């Protein structure tokens, strides 16, 4: 007998998206098997089969939008098992609103790269996981308002830059016609694909998602402020992955023209004159985006170099490039006051004296503040510093053994890829596995133009430690691949132990430096020496062979210089 399956009563929800279909025509299903999953901005809903039988016709596809009563498939029912599910019970709602007395075997606070990785790994290991985040989408700062949207905008900036530089190679284009709304849509589309993918991964693992702000009320309980009120969740174990927030300077006026990185990524407008306060990675990346879109840029950095964590020789090509293109790059400079009028008048104090200048917008990118102090973790017996730092051991345990912490809140470097590795350690230890976080090198990358990437020991750190080094450099001016790209300003540098010849650190500046660095990170992690790197046959002509050339220089076999 052929029977129809309709979308059951789903409350006041209408025009809901089908995000996953679990079957195809010809598949056999049992009564109450989940046939598809719907998702709105408030809830996810598993739609079970009211009948057992064989699917003969599927009338919808993933991405379609449906409402209660919509016909979605036809089933040839089994004569032996005509079991039906009462209509009132057919919509299994996995809501973003937890029950008032919910319980989690493992509770994860924060759904950024660290948090969702921890949740998914623990679920894979058999734990029932609840994941809490203030945002309606997973991914945290990185996917929603950080790493990913900034890289989408940097891609746009690169297209504009490449077109402008084509004239040097005999290819000329007219001035770019920039549709700011379309650029925003492109960025949001990239973010949407990734956050939507995470939602699917969470459903597949049956991770319960709760939208809200969590605060500990005891060693095994949190209170969550959700859009629908306060709820309490008890837990056996917890992982804190609360991340960090942009620092805001207290003397700045409350003015919409003063923005942080989140505001910059919204791309509401392109100011004629933009002051970027802070010469770190975030500020420089956003300066590159806005410069490509037409802003005149000024950088103000209080230290004596941009990107202070990297060696000066690696930063030099970027410094030269932006100094020639931007209005100014002020080092060893502090901003003392801002007066908001028709323009934003900024008072500076620098090594050459004091001065004032006017800007149409200010991007504040002077660092990030840890969110560890926002959780009332002390109520759970977790030690938290005044700065929001949570001390942990190599297994990522806090001072309360059943509560772990990962990511920004456990200290530098505040990087997504560090957090994801810490996340797996925490999840595995929580599930009874033996694991520990003990990396030899954690890479850092500035996605500027040129890119800057480094890992392991830097020359500055070696000098501070009084450690002997042998440093080999290969200039990209001698690289055929770099010259064919018109980018001979790059540099590859590797730091070796002079006695054992082990690779201790590496740094690269130039296009795709972040991709190239991975080989060096692996070499450092595996305790490779110069011969290992020199004897590895690199493809030619590539930028990657510059790493091999530095090792050949150490070995005394280099013939390319």
Active site residue 540: yes
The answer to whether the annotation marks 408 as part of a ligand binding site is yes
The answer to whether the annotation marks 283 as part of a ligand binding site is yes
As a three-state string, the secondary structure of 185-219 is HHHHHHHHHHHHHHHHHHHHCCCEEEECEEEEEEC
The answer to whether the annotation marks 416 as part of a ligand binding site is yes
The answer to whether the annotation marks 69 as part of a ligand binding site is no
In angstroms, the Cα distances linking 518 to 287, 381, 454, 521 are 26, 39, 10, 5
The answer to whether the annotation marks 284 as part of a ligand binding site is yes
**Cβ-contact 289, 421 below 8 angstroms:** no
The answer to whether the annotation marks 301 as part of a ligand binding site is yes
Classify residue 261 as exposed, middle or buried by CB count within 10 Å of its CB (0-12, 13-18, 19+): buried
Which residue among 103, 220, 291, 540 is the active-site one?
540
The upper half-sphere exposure of residue 92, i.e. CA atoms within 13 Å in the direction of its Cβ, equals 15
The answer to whether the annotation marks 415 as part of a ligand binding site is yes
The answer to whether the annotation marks 151 as part of a ligand binding site is yes
Nearest to 489 by CA among 317, 325, 335: 317
Nearest to 286 by CA among 154, 450, 188: 154
The DSSP bridge partners found for residue 277 are 300, 364
The answer to whether the annotation marks 279 as part of a ligand binding site is yes
Tokens representing 270 are 């392109």
Q: How far apart are CA 40 and CA 49, in angstroms?
A: 20
The answer to whether the annotation marks 363 as part of a ligand binding site is no
The answer to whether the annotation marks 510 as part of a ligand binding site is no
**Cβ-contact 119, 108 below 8 angstroms:** yes
Tokens 């920039």 correspond to what residue? 178
Tokens representing 393 are 């051991």
As a three-state string, the secondary structure of 268-322 is CCCCCEEEEECCCHHHHHHHHHHHHHCCEEEEECCCCCCCCCCCHHHHHHHHHHH
The answer to whether the annotation marks 281 as part of a ligand binding site is yes
Contact residues for 268 (Cβ-Cβ < 8 A; gap 6+): none
The upper half-sphere exposure of residue 12, i.e. CA atoms within 13 Å in the direction of its Cβ, equals 2
The answer to whether the annotation marks 367 as part of a ligand binding site is yes
The DSSP bridge partners found for residue 444 are 454
- The one-character DSSP state at 12 is T
**Cβ-contact 547, 538 below 8 angstroms:** yes
The answer to whether the annotation marks 167 as part of a ligand binding site is no
Q: How far apart are CA 318 and CA 3, in angstroms?
A: 67
The DSSP bridge partners found for residue 456 are 505
The answer to whether the annotation marks 138 as part of a ligand binding site is no
Residues making up the binding site for NAD(+)? 278-285, 301, 367
Could you give the residue numbers annotated as active site?
Answer: 540
Residues making up the binding site for FAD? 151, 408, 414-417
Residues making up the binding site? 151, 278-285, 301, 367, 408, 414-417
């Amino acid at each position: 007998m052929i029977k129809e399956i309709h979308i059951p009563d789903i409350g006041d929800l209408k025009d809901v998206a089908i995000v996953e279909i679990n079957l195809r025509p010809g598949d056999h299903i049992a009564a109450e098997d989940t046939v598809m999953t719907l998702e709105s901005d408030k809830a996810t809903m598993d739609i079970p089969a009211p009948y057992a039988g064989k699917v003969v016709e599927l009338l919808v596809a993933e991405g379609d939008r449906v409402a209660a009563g919509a016909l979605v498939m036809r089933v040839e029912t089994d004569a032996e098992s005509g079991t039906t599910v009462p209509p009132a019970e057919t919509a299994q709602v996995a809501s973003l609103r937890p029950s008032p007395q919910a319980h989690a075997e493992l509770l994860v606070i924060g759904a950024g790269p660290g948090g969702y990785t921890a949740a998914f790994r623990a679920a894979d290991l058999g734990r029932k996981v609840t994941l809490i985040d203030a945002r309606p989408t997973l991914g945290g700062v990185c996917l929603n308002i950080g790493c990913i949207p900034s890289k989408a905008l940097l891609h746009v900036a690169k297209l504009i830059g490449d077109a402008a530089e084509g004239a040097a190679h005999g290819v000329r284009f007219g001035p770019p016609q920039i549709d700011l709304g379309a650029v925003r849509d492109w960025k949001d589309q990239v973010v949407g694909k990734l956050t939507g993918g995470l939602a699917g991964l969470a459903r597949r693992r049956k991770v319960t998602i709760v939208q809200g702000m969590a605060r500990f009320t005891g060693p095994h309980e949190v209170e969550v402020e959700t859009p629908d009120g306060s709820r309490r969740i008890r837990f056996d174990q917890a992982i804190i992955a609360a991340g960090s927030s942009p620092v805001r300077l207290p003397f700045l006026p409350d003015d919409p023209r003063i923005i942080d990185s989140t505001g910059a990524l919204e791309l509401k407008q392109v100011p004629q004159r933009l002051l970027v306060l802070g010469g770190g990675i975030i500020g420089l990346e956003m300066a590159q985006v806005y410069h490509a879109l037409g802003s005149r840029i000024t950088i103000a950095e209080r230290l004596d170099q941009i990107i202070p964590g990297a060696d000066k020789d690696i930063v030099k090509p970027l410094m030269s490039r932006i100094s020639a293109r931007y209005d100014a790059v002020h080092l060893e400079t502090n901003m003392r006051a801002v007066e908001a009028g028709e323009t934003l008048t900024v008072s500076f104090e620098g090594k050459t004296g004091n001065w004032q200048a006017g800007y149409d917008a200010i991007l504040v990118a002077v660092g990030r503040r840890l969110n560890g102090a926002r959780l009332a973790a002390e109520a759970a017996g977790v030690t938290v510093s005044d700065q929001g730092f949570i001390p942990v051991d190599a297994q990522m345990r806090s001072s309360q053994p059943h509560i772990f912490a990962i990511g920004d809140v456990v200290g530098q470097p505040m990087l997504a890829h560090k957090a994801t590795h810490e996340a797996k350690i925490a999840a595995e230890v929580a599930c009874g596995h033996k694991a520990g976080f003990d990396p030899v090198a954690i890479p850092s990358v500035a996605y500027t133009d040129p890119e800057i990437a480094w890992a392991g020991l830097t020359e500055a750190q070696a000098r501070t430690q009084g450690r002997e080094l042998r440093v080999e450099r290969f200039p990209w001016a001698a690289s055929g691949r770099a010259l064919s790209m018109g980018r001979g300003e790059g540099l590859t540098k590797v730091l070796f132990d002079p006695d054992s010849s082990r690779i201790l650190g590496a740094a690269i500046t130039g296009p795709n430096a972040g991709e190239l660095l991975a080989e060096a990170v692996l070499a450092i992690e595996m305790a490779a020496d110069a011969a290992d790197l020199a004897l590895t046959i690199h493809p030619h002509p590539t930028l990657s062979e510059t790493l091999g050339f530095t090792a050949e220089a150490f070995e005394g076999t280099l013939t390319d210089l």
